[in-house]
Structures are given as C-alpha cells and as structure tokens.
Amino acid sequence: MADIIKLLPDHVANQIAAGEVVQRPASVVKELLENAIDAGASTIKLIVKEGGKTLIQVVDDGIGMSVTDARLSFERHATSKIQSAEDLFKLGTKGFRGEALASIAAIAHVEMQTKPEQDEIGTHLKIEGSKIIFQETCATPKGTSISVKHLFFNIPARRNFLKSNQVELRHITDEFHRVALAHPQIAFQYYYNGSELFNLPSSNLRQRIVGVFGTRANQKLVPVEEETQVVKISGFINKPEFAKKSRGEQFFFVNNRFIKSPYLNHAIVAAFEGLIKSGTHPGYFLYLDVDPGSIDINIHPTKTEVKFDDEHTLYAIIRSTVKHSLGQFSVVPALDFEQDQNLEVPYSYTNKGAEIPKVEVDSAYNPFAESKSNTAQMPRKKSTKGWESLYVGLESKVGQDVDFSSLSFESETITGSVFENDEDELLSVSTTFQLHRKYVVTTVRSGMLIIDQGRAHQRVLYERFLKHGTSADAVSQQLLFPLELSFTKNEIGELALIKEDLHALGFAFGELNDESVQIKGVPVSMTETDVAQVLDQLLTDFREQTVGESFSQTDRLSKSLSKALAIKTGDQLDQDSQLALVNDLFACKETTVSPFNKRIYITITENDISNKF
C-alpha cells in the first residue's frame, strides 16, 4: 500500500494557522496593537479603511527591530517573549506564540517599516501571501509601522464571509476599547477613512474611561478597591440606575489582559441583586492582579479565556468587594428604623431660628356694608336672553312623527375573523379574561382561544410600524419639551446610520453631537418615559443583528420596536384592553405567529374539553 500521509507545504500550514488566529479584521487589530504594547510604545496610532478589508495600519514608537529580527518575526513560532515551556506559566506580555505575523502575512499584503532607536536607518519589508517581495533599508522614525492590506485576498471564501463595513468596524472598535482601557498610560489615536474617531492622551483610568465613553460616564462610576493575598482588585462599577439591556460596558482585565469569564460576571450580577431590573446588566471596569503562575491563558487562540487555580475564592472576593463598594459610597438604599422621618429638618434650615407667624386683620372691614367699590366688584348676573332662540320652531314638531330615513350612523370597526374559510367559526369577543397575567382567553363557537398577550401585541405593533415605515408620511407625536439623551461615540455613530429609518417609523431628531442626541418626536404608541429604554434596545439589536440580517433595515427596526414596546408577562390588562388586543390581532394580515415566528395562540375545542372528563 502506498504512503498517504504527507507533510503540508508551509504556505498551506500558515493559512490553516491563520484560520485560528485571524477570524476577521478585528483579530488583526488586536494582534498588532498587542505587539506595539509589548514593544514598549508610549504612543500608538491605528488607521483603518473600509472596515479593515482595505487597510489596517498600526504605528508605534516602541523599541523597533533590527534587520534580522524584522525578517524572523514573520516565521512561524518565532518569538522573543518565551524561551522554554516553563515561561508559559509566568507570562507578563501580550503575545508569546509567534504565530500572529506569520498568519497575517499568509492571507494579506503586509508592509513593515521598523528601526531601533540606536540605528541610523531602518528596514522596509514587504510580504504577500507568505512570499517575500522585497527587503531593503529605508529612512523611518524610531519604532515600527505595519500595514495590512487586502485581507483574505488569496482566500475568497473567507472574504465572502466577512460582514458589512459597519459591522466589521464595530468589532474593530471593540478591540480598540479593550486595549485602550487596559493601558491608560499609553496614548492612542484611532482614524477611520481619514476621520479621527478617538484621540486619547496618556491619563489615569477614570480619565481613560471618560475619554472612551464620553464625559457623562464620569457620573456613573463608583470606585472599587481591594487587596488580598489571592488577588488585588481595582477599577470602577457603574451605579445601578445606569444598568442597560446590553452588555456593552462590561470589562474584566487580568494582569492588564482583557478576558471573558461568565463565572466572574455572575459574581458581579449577584452583588447587584435587588438593585437592578430583571433583564438589565450592570456596567463595570474591573482590573485583577494575580500571580501569573496561578492562571493559564494558553487555552484559547484568542487568549480571551483564562483558567484560574481557585475560581471559587475569586468569585467570593469579587462579589463581596463590589457589594462593599456599593454600600461604602451610599449607592445601596438604607433604612433607619429608629429615626422619625417627620422630625427631620432640612440641612439649609439647621441654623435658622423659629419665627412667630404674623396675622394682619382689618378691623374696619364689614362684608355687609354697601359701597360703590363693593358694588363694582360684585359679579353681574349673566343674561339668558340668547338661549331662547335655540328652541325657536321646535314647538310645532312636538307630537309629530320624525322621519329617521335621512339619518346616518358611524360604521363600526370591522375586524378580521379567526378562521378565514369557515363562516361558522366566528370570533366571539363578548367574554375575555386574563390568565396568570400572561394569556388572554376568549371564546369561539367550537371552544376557546388562549392567546399569548406579549406575542399578540408584538404582531400588532410590528405590522403597524412596518406600515408606517414603508409609507411616505410617518405618524409621529411631537414632544412638548425635547428629550436630550446621552450616548457614547459609538452609539451616536450607530444612531446616525439608522436615523433615516427611525424617522420613517415616527422618531423626530434634533441636534446630534458627539455625546448626546435630541429627541423631538416619537411614534404614537410610545410614551416619553420609554424612549431611552427603546433606543437602547434598538442599538443593542442593531449591534448584534439579533433579528436577522437577510431583511431590510425597516423590517429589523420594526421587529426591535415591537419587542421593546409590547406588553410583557406580568402586565395586567383590563377588560377593554383585552378586547382591543383580540380585535387588533385578528385585524392583522398574519395572526398565527409573532414577528419572531413564535405561535401566538392555541385553540381548545369542545371535544378536547369533553375528552378530559
């Protein structure tokens, strides 16, 4: 039998490795930024074009590389971070595998210009698909500049799987946030398509958070500080009233490395128990300093998942530390049962003395005395002479027959029927009742109908918004006083992208600046108090594309709005609201499933009930 096992060529092996390291343009950004940090840079510049598909460039002022190092950096498993396997358990750097540059060069056009501070000239290297095009000397400043162009140019299938430029930009910005927040002492600049998105000078942690998420983020922060033999915890948590439906502002850093840990995240949520609404998530920026030997960060190619030696102890410490911070800064409401609230004196009145009230009496006043002034002030009796003309001509018609043939009546609202093809199965909405504050039960001739109130309302709102979104004139209710809501720079950019579609659904926007947006009008079915929550839900769905990317933008926004504004389980409906919901549902074009393809109602026939006995 002939031998069938063969060694793969280097370029094929590099492409396979690239599939693990480089999943999308954001992966390239992460690797290049971490290399710049490991090089000791004090200023890092990130330049991106067309969602990273055309260009990703990182420029730093680090130590640079010699001619030999520049060439070896593109070889597989070539690294300066570790010397032996034991070094994997005491890592103090970002990268250590030596696969990043080799993997990137295998699937893109890469150019590098680098120079150590002590050298007079630097090195210019160009590689395309793992093939070295040229290597020559050049004049370049201290540090390293790496440009990655035409990502996945030799793997069209992988390039076709990339999302739109805006989606890829969001992922790149998320990676930029994680790196910038982990290293506030480093200055960062971020440019996209020639426009400056971020310019973050070297600062402390609070200033860095404010620089990334806007000046209004400063009022949300509560400091966290704790040091034990196991871990040192520092950073900030957001106040409970600023909890959001999205997980956008949740950051865990272990030894200045961003990680994802659902287990530790649960410790934060447990500390906020009873302080935030169900379905919302607290924001936090927590930095954990642990012994490098007590964690293993080499369990995932992206190095965002780590393994701790003693997670249970860490869980308890984080939970108690966050609770302590919430209580220490008077965030948790407290009750004093020994103090009478009725006897509390406002602080501004503490040093004020009591004043005796003065009563002034006019002893000469006589309410029965007649005078010209009193007579002038007395209200005159209104004349009723004009009312007599309203009844002129009615006397002759008393007792005569009145002809009602000329009268017209307003037509009643026509609603659809439950069953289109069966005239006998007509909806009887004379009797409805609510079951467990979740279902609306009504009757049909053959039995009864059990309707999920939340899904039914979603269907009604969805078709209403879809109709408004596709019509020329949007139905909107103008606010007496415009609302000004604060958002981060990312969220403002996302709102700008869907602003026209939101306008078609009934939103009216005013000024839109870097940190806030003015709302002048909202859809007719929305209350003013729901605007902030609804927009947060819209941005979350837009960011995560949870409602499907194969539909139009109007369809996606209509689904998001219907989900945010629909009746929830636990909402109590009176009799009129139940009847209105049933009638509105069966006036829809589609009555059987919700916008998210969930069944809206079930029918229990009389035979089904009889079979139970």
The HSE-up count of residue 89 (CA atoms within 13 Å, CB side) is 6
Pairing of strands 43-49, 187-192: parallel
**Is 70 exceeded by the pLDDT of residue 539?**
yes
Distance CA 554, CA 503 (A): 10
Residue 153 in contact with residue 73, Cβ under 8 Å? no
pLDDT of residue 91: 60
Lowest mean pLDDT among 140-154, 209-223, 410-424, 431-445: 410-424
**How far, in Å, CA of 175 to CA of 170, rounded?**
9
- Pairing of β 295-296 and β 307-308: antiparallel
Q: What is the predicted pLDDT for the residue at 611?
A: 85
pLDDT band at 187; cut points 50, 70, 90:
very high
Residue with the two structure tokens 């096992």: 5
pLDDT of residue 544: 67
pLDDT in tens, 279-325: 788 999 999 998 887 777 665 566 677 777 788 899 999 999 999 98
Tokens of 16: 């396979």
Residues 6+ positions from 141 with CB-CB distance below 8 Å: 61, 115
Per the rule left: phi > 0, alpha: psi between -120 and 50, beta: everything else, 173 is alpha
DSSP codes of every residue in 447-505: EEEEEEHHHHHHHHHHHHHHHHHHSSS--EEEEEEEEEEE--HHHHHHHHHSHHHHHHH
Mean pLDDT across the stretch 169-178? Answer: 90
Asked if 228 and 317 count as a contact pair (C-beta separation under 8 A), the reply is yes
Listed ranges 156-170, 226-240, 363-377; the one with the highest mean pLDDT? 226-240
The yes-or-no verdict on residue 474 having pLDDT over 70 is no
Indicate whether 548 pLDDT > 60: no
Q: Which of 29-33, 214-218, 258-262 has the lowest mean pLDDT?
A: 214-218
Q: Name the range with the highest mean pLDDT among 112-126, 205-219, 569-583.
A: 112-126
Average pLDDT of the chain to the nearest whole number? 79
Alpha carbon distance 134, 136 (integer Å): 7
Strand (E) or helix (H) holding 173: helix 165-182
Give me the pLDDT at residue 547, please: 42
DSSP per-residue letters across 143-164? EEEEEEESTTTT-HHHHHT---
Which pLDDT value is given to residue 218?
Answer: 86
pLDDT of residue 186: 93
Question: What separation in angstroms does the CA of 452 have from each of 114, 365, 569, 601?
Answer: 64, 70, 9, 6
CA distance 153 to 130: 12
The whole-angstrom separation of Cα 396 and Cα 389 is 15
560 CB neighbour count, 10 Å cutoff: 25
SS (H, E, C) 529-553: HHHHHHHHHHHHHHHHCCCCCCCCH
Q: What percent of the chain has pLDDT over 90?
A: 19
pLDDT at 83: 55
Cα dihedral 78, 84, 89, 93 sign: negative
**Residue 414 pLDDT > 50:** no
Q: Which of 431, 554, 422 is nearest to 499 (CA)?
A: 554
On whether the CB atoms of residues 446 and 605 are closer than 8 A, the answer is yes
The crossing angle, in degrees rounded to 10, of helices 165-182 and 489-497 is 170
- Condensed to tens digits (0 to 9), the pLDDT of residues 487-520 reads 777 778 778 878 887 887 788 888 777 778 888 8
Q: What is the mean pLDDT of residues 101-124?
A: 90
**HSE of 47, CA atoms in CB hemisphere, 13 A:** 13
Residues 6 or more apart whose CB falls under 8 angstroms from that of 17 comprise 76, 99, 102, 103, 106
pLDDT over 90 (residue 219):
no
Fill in the amino acid letter for 434.
Q
Share of the chain above pLDDT 70, in %: 77
Look up tokens 């509105």; give the residue: 584
φ/ψ (deg, to 5) at 512: -130, 100
- What pLDDT sits at residue 585? 87
Per-residue model confidence as pLDDT tens digits over 73-108: 888 777 666 555 555 555 656 655 557 788 888 889
Encoded amino acid at 187, one letter: A
Nearest CA-CA partner of 531 in 500, 556, 505, 513: 505
Instruction: Convert the pLDDT of each residue in 390-411 to its tens digit.
Output: 555 555 545 555 555 555 544 4
453-470 vs 553-565: helix axis angle to the nearest 10? 140
Q: What is the pLDDT of residue 106?
A: 87
Residue 460 bridge partners (DSSP): none
Read off the pLDDT band of 8 (50, 70, 90).
confident
Query: Cα–Cα distance between 548 and 608 in angstroms, integer?
Result: 38
* Contact (CB, 8 A) for 235 and 205: yes
Q: Helix 165-182 to helix 205-213 angle, to the nearest 10 degrees?
A: 170
| pLDDT at position 377 over 60 | no
Task: Pick the closest to residue 55 from 18, 25, 27 (CA basis).
Answer: 25
Query: Across the beta sheet with 447-452, what order do the strands follow?
Result: 427-435, 439-444, 447-452, 601-605
Domains assigned to the chain: 10-200 (3.30.565.10), 205-328 (3.30.230.10), 427-604 (3.30.1370.100)
CA 207 – CA 227 distance, rounded (Å): 23
Task: Give the pLDDT of residue 205.
Answer: 92
- Per-residue CA distances from 305 to 122, 172, 251, 416 (Å): 37, 19, 13, 54
CB-based contacts of 514, cutoff 8 Å, min separation 6? 214, 489, 492
Question: Reading across the β-sheet that carries 232-238, which strands appear in turn?
Answer: 221-227, 232-238, 284-289, 250-254, 257-259
Q: Is pLDDT of 529 > 90?
A: no
Measured from the Cβ of residue 445, the count of other Cβ atoms closer than 10 Å reads 14
For 132, residues 6+ apart whose C-beta sits below 8 A from its C-beta are 125, 126
The pLDDT value given to residue 424: 43
Of 25-39, 249-263, 383-397, 400-414, minimum mean pLDDT range: 400-414
pLDDT score recorded for residue 301: 60
Dist CA 257 CA 178 (whole Å): 9
Helix, strand, coil distribution of the chain in percent, nearest 5: 35, 25, 40
Return the closest-CA partner of residue 258 out of 175, 357, 144, 368.
175
Looking at residue 28, what DSSP letter applies? H
